[in-house]
Amino acid sequence: MTKRRDVGDVTVSLPNTSPYLGNSTVTAAKQPINNLLDDLNSFVPRRQENGMVCSVRRILESVTEPERIKLQELLDNDKVLSSDLALLLKKNNYYVSGDVVRRHRRRKFTGTGCSCP
Segment 48-59, tens digit of pLDDT: 556 677 889 889
Higher pLDDT, 63 or 19: 63
Residue 30 gets the label, from left (phi > 0), alpha (psi -120 to 50) or beta, of: alpha
Rounded to whole angstroms, the Cα distance separating 89 from 86 reads 5
Give the pLDDT band (50/70/90) at residue 93. Answer: very high
Q: Is the pLDDT assigned to residue 85 strictly greater than 90? A: yes
Q: Once rounded to an integer, what is the mean pLDDT over residues 8-14?
A: 54
Higher pLDDT, 35 or 100: 100
